[in-house]
Structure 1
Amino acid sequence: MGKGYYISRHLATAAMVLAAIALLTIIALSVVYNREKSKNAAKFTNATTSPVPPTQKTPNEPWDKYRLPDTLSPEYYNVTLWPRLVKNANGMYIFTGISGVMFTCVKKTDLILIHSNKLNLTLFKGHHAKLTGQSGVTAPAIKTTWFQMETQYLVIQLEGKLKPGKSYWLYTEFTGELADDLEGFYRSEYMEDGEKKIIAITQMQATYARKAFPCFDEPGMKAVFHITLIHDRGTTALSNKTEKVTIDGTAVTRTIFAPTKKMSTYLIAFVVSDFKYISAKDKKGVLVRIWARKKAIEDGQGDYALKITQPILEFFEKYYNTSYPLSKSGMTMIKNKTEPWKTGVLSLTERRLFYTIRRRLPMATSRGVLFWFGNLVTLKWWNDLWLNEGFASYVEYLGADYAEPTWDMKDQTILYDLQRAFAVDSLTSSHPLSRKEEEVNTPSEISEMFNTISYSKGAAVLKMLSEFLTEPVFAKGLSNYLKQFAFGSSVYTDLWDHLQKAVDQTPGVKLPYSVHEIMNRWILQMGFPVITIDTRTGNVSQKHFLLEPEAVVDRKSEFNYEWFVPIKWMKKQQVQDQLWLLQKSGTLNLVNKNEWVLANLHVSGYFRVNYDLGNWERLLSQLESGHQVIPVVNRAQILDDAFNLARASIINITLALRTTKYLLHERKYIPWEAALRNLNYFFQLFDRSEVYGAMQAYLKKQVKPLFEYFGNISSNWTAVPSGHTDQFTQIIALSLACSTGVEGCRELTRNWFKKWMQNPHNNVIHPNLRSTVYCNAIAAGGAEEWNFGWQMFQKATVAAEAVKLRSALACTKVPWLLNRYLEYTMNPEKIRKQDATSTIGYIASNIIGQSLAWDFVRANWDYFFKMYGTGSFSFSRLISDITYRFCTPFELSQLKRFQKDNAETGFGSGTRALQQAIEKTTAKIKWLAENKEPVHQWFLSESA
């Protein structure tokens, strides 16, 4: 259990591109092309001499602080970069550059602090920089310069003071490594036609722009950027003007980008590659280009992206009441993640754009409108990251739903955001959406903010806000907010102000309190409530939901962990008026107490729901007698709420298990997916105990009708269903049937894989089903099957296919193969650095591989921390993956020993993930002590 599964190229291309195109098409609202400018390239020099800092410094100097002082404000950057796509004499890939930044002095100072990390700066008369005045202003001489490594500053002390209101230019020349570390300006590699190709790309978010050129690298420090790239003939840097030049005898191309609007450093992105493109114009004449590897373009993998751009663009123009201002726009598919580029070009992972990862449909592209919303109006500091990321995670569903209305995209928010957020936000180690600025300072603390709370809880809370305001009011307030703060920075209270104005201007929309008062309770305190409804009395109450009810919450809350809760509900089949629960308890108007009540209708609110036992019984009876009466998303809600309420010891575990009995009749994707996630949790708890056999037998009985159903409608698994979400349910049917031993399933997968091995050039396995087939066949086989899978992985030219194989290789039950695979993760020639942590996670999801992965990471902790710990967004996921199965006192002691043994090295961006692993393991130990035997007996009785 627990292995991912994937979808076909055409289906996944369609699914993946929707949000990606939103990301592309809306970016440019923050940009208007200005006149083209030329910039002469300069010679680049490599310097390694570095003056040292003064030996006499008092503690807590400005350069010891992670936040920039408020003395200077950048206005304009002029940056030229020259990436070398071949190794130099020292065997390194490098880039060279020159940069000029014009800044205005805000307060009198004799100190300049500018971020610079891992750059070798050329010396100007013994100093790392040169300072001149703007428009006849005389600049003071530079006294000394040095690098402050901890805070990543180039420190420049002056002999005189800079004058307030005056502008100055700071010039630097530098050399940097074009490393494969996914940070700043870096390189990516791929194979095409047997040849290794190198491309230079960027990942500036959150604090990596300083690795590309010296800059004031904070989101509120906006400026205009004029960027020039010098690159090899035959490669392309996407822009509006290129020219062929010769520099120091080398024939190169110089690409000049139009100056941007004012923007933050983390939003800069560019690509140098030999990619090809397809293009088309929309109804308004906007030229759209899709760039990708030559093979990908030839195979038509970008066609859907081109086709779907227009409806997505149409939707967001209407939604934001703002027209798309550019005459052209481009989207680039690469193998690594980068951020948006303000001149109308977007770089995405090819895998994320063309295909789905696991089951996420368009959400795998995520970030749909983040790059429009987050670019046009930028957060002032990373403590409010949720406003950008959460907003993007929410509205991407709206654009996808508009473009493909039959896909039921809005309903899937409960799977990919709400339920995902619940899992983290029910722990005492969670945190509020908006944190205090002083809590987010270091690069690792900033990186830690890119988590489930910011993304998924942010989306769920904004969805709830939109629901109780109504979508038109929400969109109106948002549009006005964006117009006022365009190309500037804001805080969340600015958004509340504009939404409140929209409420005040709309007759019929009434709130019990202001938007500020309602929403502050949801973003300034962590967690969420469980709403309990007693249908015997009509009483409704709220309580902070924690998976470990007796755990002590260290974080104080000015609201005492109470919320203003909007509750939509229904009696039997009659929708009732919305109830606002404004205190710890309230009352529902119940006339007939023998009718079932369902709260959080259409799962519009961010809370769980519990009922008295009588109402639970009535809901279970309705599910088994006619489950279609209950909305499909609420069927998923009932399953997920029940299991988590049982994990928190609020209801009996057997009551939660009974919610799965009706699945014999269920054919819809969202309820099955919700059930599968909770059952996967049970598999992880029990697959090493005697409970596992009885559980397997029960689930085999439940999934067999679904397996047979899809066998019938797919002509014995030779076709895919016509319905979009049905195709995902078909994947669940095959995956769960094989893992529980439904007759005929494993034979089916083994035969398909065997045919492919016999004819590697003709893969007869349907793309939708390949992940499940690969995993089951490799698990059932030995070294021969594994080695074949490895060879196909090495030869894979389609990104999604490579991911499927990389995941499936972790399914083997042969320990030495898993150990060898783990070793491959430390060899970039075999497993790319950006894929190493997820590969270890795949191995850890295998019952045989879990302990191997845990021991491997512990033994090589210094290496993994150095590679990923200080900034990589994937690092916290690595810790979660290798500890996911932990549920015994011995494993808890191992975790605590691991924490103690590596305290000196640290845990960086994985610090919170480690705390959560300890908390989760502690809760599981207690829960198992109380529930293991009842669960075992229930499965035994129901599987008979």
Structure 2
Amino acid sequence: MGKGFFISKTLGIVGVIVGTGVVATIIALSVVYSQEKAKNLEVVNPHTTPSTAKDPWENYRLPDSLSPVSYNITLWPRLVVNASTGLYIFTGQSDVVFRCEKETDLILIHCNKLNLTLLSLTGLDGATAPTIKKSWLEVPTQFLVIQLNSNLMAGRQYELYTEFIGELADDLGGFYRSEYTEGTSPPVKKVVATTQMQPVDARKAFPCFDEPAMKAVFHMTLLHAHGTVALANGMNLVNVTVNGQDVTRTSFEPTPLMSTYLLAFVVSEFGFIQSPEGEKVLIRIWARKQAIAEGQGNYALEKTGPILEFFEKYYSSSYPLTKSDQIALPDFSAGAMENWGLITYRETALLFNPASSSNGDKEWIATVISHELAHMWFGNLVTMKWWNDLWLNEGFASYVSYLGADSAEPTWNVTDLIVLKEVHGAMSVDALASSHPLSAKEEDIVRPAQISELFDTITYSKTYLNTFQYSNTVYQDLWKHLQMAADSTPGLELPASVDDIMNRWILQMGFPVVTIDTATGSINQRHFLLDPDSVVDRPSPFNYEWIVPMKWIKNGNDQTPYWLQTETATHLPMKTSGSDWVLANTKVSGFFRVNYDSGNWDRLLTLLSTDHEAIPVINRAQIVDDAFNLARARTVNTTLALRTTLFLQREREYMPWQTANKNLGYFFLMFDRSDVYGPMQAYLNKQVTPLFNHFKTITADWTKIPEKHTDQYNQVNAISIACSTGVAGCEELTTGWFKDWMNTPENNMIHPNLRQTVYCSAIAAGGMEEWDFAWRMYKEASIASEADKLMYALACTRVPWLLNRYLNYCLDPEKIRKQDATFTIVYIAGNVVGQSLAWDFVRTNWDHLFNDYGGGSLSFARLIEGITRRFSSEFELKQLQQFIEENAEQGFGSATLAVDQALERTKANMKWVAENKKDILTWFTVNSA
């Protein structure tokens, strides 16, 4: 699935030292379990497991007695309200052919929220079907249970036929509806019937064996009204008018052998553009007709073909289908979903308009398309056996998405941005005692509510794909094939087997901090915890030790790489004298933090202050991020971390500035309600003023945009930080641009790159007039990325009653779409004025949010993290504990882990503030002068 939601746990399998492509990808940035950020899953301790269930249907896992062969499914979604029920519905019929693997008198097949109207069983190829004794729906485990009067025979095939009715709800899961308006006089509501099956919602569309290992071939047929178009995984084969009814019947090519969660089908009135005739693979971009007419699909069409070709070469394997449809949906819970042949996207992840979309929007589209296309092989062709190994799909797709995007946009250097967008964010969560290993035991991930937050990966070997195509694997299969690749690579020497190296990263949570003493040359590692006093009660099979590859430089020169295999080691070449300095983890090729003796820290900070470009730009960002996190873990003084920001007066590159801004953001969260705030503002004002003036100069007084991709990002940083800290001329600049737009709404001259920060700054400086104008523009926006910028900026107002009104809008899907509601609340909570308002709102409306917006949505977990990130007092801790107690009975769904992390973070914040506030106030006061 594509990125776009809550970062839960990421494990970085560290950068390899040797210069071989195979192993460098093996143990390289498998850090990307994070932002998959959109996969509606969760991890909690199982309440019902196979060992405790009394009857087979009380288990959450299918027995191994039956396996599907093929499905023949016909569905008819009604895109108008049913007069008798007042609901949108669909009707359907399904034939599933299955093979009996073990003799049994019981059929269990997943079925959820469907009203079955007909059920029959037939024997195939001469087999006699037993008669049905009894059948019922087992709601907790989501099974259709069919007890038979005699046994199914092992080795024989049978056909189960069902007819059913389901609701085409707006819950963003299974077979659901999405709505939008078209036209202006008056606007006409349009309804789309679409799908999101991952992880366990195919069972809401038709009865099925809904586990990833239960692969089958799917024959799809859709009935739909004239004037609509039907899409599915395969190419449409036949369109016929059904006699006596105003509908069209569209049948599709059968799918390859695949898992149920990859099934997709859509009925809509969308338009499309397509690749030229004669291409090996037909590529089509689908969206609202207005969006297609405005050219919003052109960029996606331009890049999909080249990225697909890149992966064919990268995998040495042809794309196995005849077409690749990409469709942008108005309502979609994730960023995108890798359905084979019909990839579904949020509009912001596929549609681009040069007149209103930023360079960040374009990068997002390129990387999400790349991520989903990577899955066509790694995930779709070869699939994990069970959800506990979901990281096999997701981490790898996240990593190679940057490679695919880099091939499509080589001037961007997006592969460097993995450090900012994946590694740093992953570490911030994996440093908590409430983190968890990358790979869980299969028996611990049982219920639908548990199949969550399990995304990460690495890999390379093409033999793996060839061996396991159209089948399922476990992570040990991958290690075996990577070992084969390593063994066949001349000159490659690993310190241990691939199995031993990699299992240390996936079977134990967390990551190490490596400490180098340059006075002695000794190195040691220990489990890094953001709160060193937190209790780690999860046992580790490796005693929290990792095999760590050390790439390092000394006085600016690359040194011989070194493997750290034990807790402590002596490596004398790291010993220094005089002004020598050592920098480890160059280019951040490994997933660990680095600490040094005080002498080496002083020499690095002196170098930053005098000749910062002597240190690679990625490592300048790394020094800042490591120092701030080591300070939060009380490993180094907080003043040392703050000293790493002194060189920013001379820094013009994006990565160090972005990293410093993110880390100082934590200081603002902790102190923007205290007397530290003033000196802190004054210090950052002093540091950012040269950057603001730099961009003013190189853009000819803000009349053009920098050419370099990351410079465009840093121009946004310069304006955003300058305006928020009161740099002279900044607020006048942004409010002036915004007023010009208010005077001529049809002519927005603010550059798309700058719009979000300009909107936010102007709305913060303004009042009701600015807010109401922005709200009107939000509601009228025909481009999703523009609407998203305004949605964020509307939360920037400092007027409490406007923020309260905005919060209440989140309960009305006509005003704020369900897919956006939790994000909007989090944006408001990020505003110091809105923090308490958002917290009160969520507590007051928790039942409604939980029941109507679903405990299974990953953005729901983001909600808990977002509204509690500023918590740092005893009073807030007690409020949080009370909130948890009051809602313990119904639980927190996909926010369960986020609640535990919120408690841990709040306690750590309280301790950190108490220990550091005095020194921080003194430091900012002295250095802001």
Normalized against structure 1, the TM-score is what? Answer: 0.89
Contact 1:357-1:364 at 8 Å conserved across structures: no
Equivalence map 1:214-229=2 (5 Å): 214-229=207-222
Provide Cα deviations, 1:302-339, integer angstroms capped at 9, x if missing partner.
22222223432332122111123444332212223476
Cα distance between partner residues in 2 of 1:362 and 1:730: 21
Cα distance between partner residues in 2 of 1:282 and 1:419: 44
Cα distance between partner residues in 2 of 1:325 and 1:879: 41
SS at match of 2:877: helix
Task: Please tell me the residue identity of whatever aligns with 1:574.
Answer: N
Partner of 2:192: 199
Partner of 2:46: none
Q: Does 1:396 align with 2:379?
A: no
SS at match of 2:842: helix
Moved over 6 A (4+): none
Q: Does 1:315 align with 2:310?
A: yes
CA deviation after TM superposition for structure 1 residue 79, in Å: 0.5
Task: Please tell me the residue identity of whatever aligns with 1:604.
Answer: S
2:840 aligned residue (855, 865, 870):
855
Partner of 1:160: 150
Q: Does 1:276 align with 2:281?
A: no
Q: Does 1:131 align with 2:124?
A: no
Q: Report the CA distance shift for 1:591/1:817 in structure 2 as closer, same or farther (over 3 A).
A: closer
Contact 2:176-2:195 at 8 Å conserved across structures: yes
Task: Please tell me the residue identity of whatever aligns with 1:159.
Answer: N
2:73 aligned residue (67, 73, 79):
79
Partner of 1:386: 391
Q: Report the CA distance shift for 1:629/1:882 in structure 2 as closer, same or farther (over 3 A).
A: same
CA deviation after TM superposition for structure 1 residue 591, in Å: 5.9
Cα distance between partner residues in 2 of 1:613 and 1:930: 21
CA deviation after TM superposition for structure 1 residue 529, in Å: 0.2
Q: Report the CA distance shift for 1:230/1:438 in structure 2 as closer, same or farther (over 3 A).
A: same
Task: Please tell me the residue identity of whatever aligns with 1:704.
Answer: T
SS at match of 1:690: coil
Partner of 2:749: 764
Q: Does 1:413 align with 2:418?
A: yes
Paired residues in the alignment total 861
Partner of 1:351: 348
2:538 aligned residue (555, 569, 586):
555
Contact 2:548-2:565 at 8 Å conserved across structures: yes
CA deviation after TM superposition for structure 1 residue 369, in Å: 1.6
Partner of 1:871: 856
Q: Report the CA distance shift for 1:282/1:389 in structure 2 as closer, same or farther (over 3 A).
A: farther
Q: Report the CA distance shift for 1:84/1:290 in structure 2 as closer, same or farther (over 3 A).
A: same
Cα distance between partner residues in 1 of 2:297 and 2:657: 31
Cα distance between partner residues in 2 of 1:62 and 1:942: 68
Contact 2:213-2:472 at 8 Å conserved across structures: yes
Q: Report the CA distance shift for 1:358/1:863 in structure 2 as closer, same or farther (over 3 A).
A: farther
Partner of 2:203: 210
Cα distance between partner residues in 1 of 2:726 and 2:71: 62
Partner of 1:635: 620
Partner of 1:532: 515
Contact 2:308-2:373 at 8 Å conserved across structures: no
Unpaired runs of at least 5, structure 1: 5-57, 124-128, 463-473
Q: Does 1:793 align with 2:749?
A: no
Equivalence map 1:391-540=2 (5 Å): 391-446=396-451, 448-450=452-454, 454-455=455-456, 458=457, 462=458, 475=460, 477=461, 479-540=462-523
Partner of 2:229: 236
Contact 1:383-1:449 at 8 Å conserved across structures: no
Equivalence map 1:277-356=2 (5 Å): 277-281=272-276, 285-337=280-332, 344-354=341-351, 356=360
Equivalence map 1:417-816=2 (5 Å): 417-446=422-451, 448-450=452-454, 454-455=455-456, 458=457, 462=458, 475=460, 477=461, 479-588=462-571, 589-590=573-574, 592-594=576-578, 595-816=580-801
Cα distance between partner residues in 2 of 1:354 and 1:697: 40
Contact 2:515-2:525 at 8 Å conserved across structures: yes
Task: Please tell me the residue identity of whatever aligns with 1:321.
Answer: S
CA deviation after TM superposition for structure 1 residue 362, in Å: 4.2
Task: Please tell me the residue identity of whatever aligns with 1:299.
Answer: E
1:140 aligned residue (95, 105, 130):
130
Q: Does 1:818 align with 2:803?
A: yes
Partner of 2:9: none
SS at match of 2:313: helix
Q: Does 1:183 align with 2:166?
A: no
Q: Report the CA distance shift for 1:712/1:688 in structure 2 as closer, same or farther (over 3 A).
A: same
Cα distance between partner residues in 1 of 2:361 and 2:671: 27
Cα distance between partner residues in 1 of 2:489 and 2:884: 54
CA deviation after TM superposition for structure 1 residue 357, in Å: 5.8
Cα distance between partner residues in 1 of 2:802 and 2:388: 43
CA RMSD in angstroms comes to 1.8
CA deviation after TM superposition for structure 1 residue 195, in Å: 2.1
1:65 aligned residue (56, 59, 68):
59
Cα distance between partner residues in 1 of 2:548 and 2:180: 50
Cα distance between partner residues in 2 of 1:357 and 1:284: 28
SS at match of 1:818: helix
Name which of structure 1's ranges 87-96 and 923-932 shifts more when overlaid on structure 2: 87-96
SS at match of 1:428: coil
Partner of 1:24: none
Partner of 1:92: 87
Partner of 1:884: 869
SS at match of 2:607: helix
Contact 1:137-1:167 at 8 Å conserved across structures: yes
Q: Does 1:834 align with 2:827?
A: no
Cα distance between partner residues in 2 of 1:252 and 1:718: 55
Name which of structure 1's ranges 280-289 and 387-396 shifts more when overlaid on structure 2: 280-289
Provide Cα deviations, 1:796-827, integer angstroms capped at 9, x if missing partner.
10000111111111111111111111111111
Equivalence map 1:23-42=2 (5 Å): none
Contact 1:244-1:252 at 8 Å conserved across structures: no
Task: Please tell me the residue identity of whatever aligns with 1:334.
Answer: L
Contact 1:500-1:514 at 8 Å conserved across structures: yes
Q: Report the CA distance shift for 1:670/1:360 in structure 2 as closer, same or farther (over 3 A).
A: farther
Unpaired runs of at least 5, structure 2: 5-51, 353-359
Contact 1:192-1:797 at 8 Å conserved across structures: no
Identical columns (%)? 60
Cα distance between partner residues in 1 of 2:238 and 2:449: 40
Contact 2:58-2:141 at 8 Å conserved across structures: yes
Name which of structure 1's ranges 211-220 and 364-373 shifts more when overlaid on structure 2: 364-373
Task: Please tell me the residue identity of whatever aligns with 1:926.
Answer: K
Cα distance between partner residues in 2 of 1:916 and 1:357: 30
Contact 2:235-2:323 at 8 Å conserved across structures: no
Normalized against structure 2, the TM-score is what? Answer: 0.90
Contact 1:734-1:745 at 8 Å conserved across structures: yes
Q: Does 1:253 align with 2:248?
A: yes
Task: Please tell me the residue identity of whatever aligns with 1:913.
Answer: A
Partner of 2:7: none
Contact 1:78-1:225 at 8 Å conserved across structures: yes
Equivalence map 1:85-124=2 (5 Å): 85-89=79-83, 90-123=85-118
SS at match of 1:375: coil
Task: Please tell me the residue identity of whatever aligns with 1:215.
Answer: C
Contact 1:750-1:776 at 8 Å conserved across structures: yes
Q: Does 1:376 align with 2:385?
A: no
Task: Please tell me the residue identity of whatever aligns with 1:889.
Answer: E
Provide Cα deviations, 1:330-368, integer angstroms capped at 9, x if missing partner.
221222347657662222112112354698574455545
Contact 1:382-1:449 at 8 Å conserved across structures: no
